[in-house]
Structure 1
Amino acid sequence: MPTTRRQTAIAEGKIVPDEHDEHQEHHEKKPRRHSTAAHKGHPHKTKAEHENGHPMDEDVKPPDVKAEDHVAGDKREHTKEENKQEEPPAKVQKVEVGAEGIYKPGTIERGHIYFFYRPRVEHEEAQSIEDVQHFHMLLIPRPPDFLVSDSPVETSEKKEDDVKAEDAENMKVLAPGADAVPAPEPTKFKKKFYRLITVGKKRLPDPDSPGTGGSKRKEMFWATVTAVGDDLSQLAEGLGEKTYETKTRGTRHIAPSRLAARGGYALVNGKTRTRSDRETHFGYHVSHPKPEDMGDVQEELGIYPASSFVLQVRNPLAPPQGPIQLHSTPADYPEWIMRGVFGASDGGEKHAKGREDFGLRFASCETPELLNYKNAQILLIAAREGEEGLEKSLGEGRGVALSEVEQKEGHESIRQVFEELKLDISKFPAEPLEGSWA
């Protein structure tokens, strides 16, 4: 709109505008943004055209704040990708965080232990250890007794859960050694987590016997985790009698396994100042048979009323040290165990422990998860026998507490013991629980 008489005259065509007038008009007009389309001959582009998907002017940029958000977003995405590449997997992170803490002093597991032996092929029964084909330890982990509710439903649903750091204050008001006492073994459930461990020498190492060649070192035997599961019917089938065919000898028969002893056990990491001194103690106390009922079976199998061992686990990447290891299938541990426990190298990274790329040849059982993998190879090193020896190995009243509860459980019937595993007592001879070979 003309605002002066000169501009009015120019508008009416009475005078011709000069350059000064055009320059002044340009500055007085309010600046507007224009699309490149208007400059290219589309001055009348409508709102409907924009809404129908025609591109807006390329010169029309969004406000600066949006541009900054876009750049910042790119940076965040870039940083996120970098972090994603550098950040280790969850379990590895767990090990890295716990490089010093994955080994935690104290009870890392407790439960019930069952000792089985199986007669040799075509032997309906065994009369001595010479007639034994296999010797097994069955471990069934349990939560500590003080954490289990009296409700049978809650008891069945509770899983193995070691005492956490926040429970430390609660532990102070509990009886000494309470963390090593397993909750009672229920008899109504058909599903229980278990591990079956086969001892190579067909007996336990004797704490009172010297090592090989009369050395001062204690006896040590290899053992292998041969089965891990939670279905007791499958366990019963595996321990039961078997029949198979051979090309040379025809039909072969294997008698069912025999239950030789039952009791409670605890895995305890000792308190140490250095990594090299770390030890995992595996102690047990027998409830069945009672000490006065133990006989030749328990004696020859090396089963004491109470005993303990130092437990070590072999690195599956370590070179084999004998024909058995050479031809055996190694355990398939996840990376967080290989790195966090054995210190194996990860690709081009330097190994964390030991002198070799595979890390340590052996490690203490820093976490019970090491025993949750089939073919895991463990070393049982004899430590101490008897209740005093058990207490010395487990420490802080744990041996005493475990002994007391297993002595009480010793009053349970043999039939109830079989019911804990859902084993048919008519199919599995019970005489060994009374000290006699069968």
Structure 2
Amino acid sequence: MGQGTEVKTREDPKVEIQEKGEVFFFYRPKVDKEKAHGPDDVQRMYVVLRPESVPDRAVEEKQAPDSGKEGKKRKTRHGGDEKGQADGGNEGGHGKEEVNVEEKPLLRLIVMGKKSLPDPAKHGRPFWGYVDLVTTDIEDIKDALKGAEYDTATRGKRRQSAARAMGEGVYRILKHEGRGGRPHTHLVYKLELPSRGGEEGAVGEPQEAMNVEPEASFLVQIKNPEQRGGGRGGGGGGGFGGLQGKRKAAFPEHLQGRFGSNRYAPADPPDLLNYEGCELLLISASDDVEEELGLELQTETEEETERGAGGDGGEGGRAGAGCSDLVKMFGEVADVKPLLSGSWD
């Protein structure tokens, strides 16, 4: 469905767009559950970000392709011993390479600690998450989302169900100068699927349960991997258990330098998110992006509707499976019923 567009609705809003792209939301039922009928049946929530362009530059810096889970998957595909590389697969991303996002896909798989987003209408405690996988190979994301069976020493064979898709839209990472004049960064998004039905602003049951609103704005902060603290009971909040040891990202010197002696830093540049083991906090800012930031996001289907496209039978611009990038990329491994219907399995 593409990255959509944005329109500034106030004069000189102090907002700088650092990254544009598509956002996809998924959840996975708990082990040995074939379906999820409510949030108590959910094991994990995933957010996938796919940058599609960056103003004034098409190149993003990411971890070296032989690091983290990405490196493990590459070695396994080329005949390596997966068992022998298990430890390497649990390490965070390190090194660096440049990726032209106009020539190849770049995808980040983020795990949310509390299995939901913060409620964008409430200014509460931060919600912790971490970048679990960064890759230029869509097959890696498919592998992470699909179902699997595995053996355990005490419970025998267990079944992990495939992930369910529950949201698709456009996102922006913004640098914003607030009232105090101190820059910070926002992650803002607007959903294209599931389509909004009768009541304006209504969302489906899984989306409501996991706070995936039609649009939202969150402050995003990156944790300094070289600073200790922030574990349970340490003020991190929102499921902030923290990653341990080698699982943390190992940023190159010029990115690590963005933290100074601080425990957290803005996602500036967004390249910080291109390292597995990058820990982040999402903090509720607003459920009305235009009111808060003077910026209105438009999805591609909204643009088509304004242009009067597809005016046959009143379906002009309405999003559906046929134009969904999520369905095209991941529909073969992830159940898309919650995405298209806004209902549980």
- TM-score under structure 1 normalisation? 0.56
Letter in 2 for 1:311: V
**2:69 maps to which residue?**
none
**1:252 maps to which residue?**
158
Work out whether 1:403 is the aligned partner of 2:298: yes
Conserved 8 A contact 2:225-2:249 = yes
**1:333 maps to which residue?**
251
**1:10 maps to which residue?**
none
Q: Work out which of the residue numbers 24, 27, 45 in structure 2 matches 1:117.
A: 27
Work out whether 1:230 is the aligned partner of 2:136: yes
For 1:394 and 1:160, locate their aligned partners in 2 and report how far apart those are by CA, in whole Å.
26
User: Which aligned pairs between 1:30-109 and structure 2 lie closer than 5 A?
Assistant: 106-109=16-19
- The count of aligned residue pairs is 267
Conserved 8 A contact 1:232-1:421 = no
1:318 Cα deviation after fit? 1.0
Conserved 8 A contact 1:141-1:160 = no
Q: Percent identity?
A: 32
* Cα-to-partner distance string for 1:205-237 (whole Å, 9 max, x where unaligned): 01223xxxxxxx534200100000011112111
**2:93 maps to which residue?**
none
Unaligned runs of 5+ in 1: 1-103, 148-157, 162-184, 210-216, 344-358
SS in 1 for 2:40: helix
Q: 1:294 to 1:106 in 2, by over 3 A?
A: same
Q: 1:415 to 1:406 in 2, by over 3 A?
A: closer
Q: Work out which of the residue numbers 221, 236, 244 in structure 1 matches 2:127.
A: 221
For 2:155 and 2:322, locate their aligned partners in 1 and report how far apart those are by CA, in whole Å.
37
Q: 1:338 to 1:105 in 2, by over 3 A?
A: farther
Letter in 1 for 2:291: K
* Cα-to-partner distance string for 1:270-313 (whole Å, 9 max, x where unaligned): 136977x2210110000001122731111001011111100111
- TM-score under structure 2 normalisation? 0.70
For 1:419 and 1:115, locate their aligned partners in 2 and report how far apart those are by CA, in whole Å.
9
**1:206 maps to which residue?**
119
* Cα-to-partner distance string for 1:132-162 (whole Å, 9 max, x where unaligned): 1110100000126x99xxxxxxxxxx9457x
**1:143 maps to which residue?**
53
SS in 2 for 1:237: helix
For 2:225 and 2:328, locate their aligned partners in 1 and report how far apart those are by CA, in whole Å.
31
CA RMSD of aligned residues (A): 2.8
Q: 1:272 to 1:306 in 2, by over 3 A?
A: closer
**2:65 maps to which residue?**
none
Q: 1:109 to 1:394 in 2, by over 3 A?
A: farther
* Cα-to-partner distance string for 1:78-106 (whole Å, 9 max, x where unaligned): xxxxxxxxxxxxxxxxxxxxxxxxxx950
Q: Work out which of the residue numbers 257, 270, 282 in structure 1 matches 2:187.
A: 282
Conserved 8 A contact 1:117-1:132 = yes
SS in 2 for 1:322: coil
Work out whether 1:391 is the aligned partner of 2:304: no
**2:42 maps to which residue?**
132
SS in 1 for 2:298: helix
1:421 Cα deviation after fit? 5.2
For 2:275 and 2:166, locate their aligned partners in 1 and report how far apart those are by CA, in whole Å.
25
Q: 1:436 to 1:192 in 2, by over 3 A?
A: same
SS in 2 for 1:370: helix
Work out whether 1:413 is the aligned partner of 2:320: yes
Letter in 2 for 1:244: Y
Higher strand content, 1 or 2: 2
Letter in 1 for 2:279: Q
Conserved 8 A contact 2:301-2:319 = no
For 2:328 and 2:292, locate their aligned partners in 1 and report how far apart those are by CA, in whole Å.
28
Q: Work out which of the residue numbers 242, 261, 265 in structure 2 matches 1:363.
A: 265
Q: 1:105 to 1:403 in 2, by over 3 A?
A: closer
Runs (4+) off by over 6 Å:
none
Q: 1:420 to 1:432 in 2, by over 3 A?
A: closer
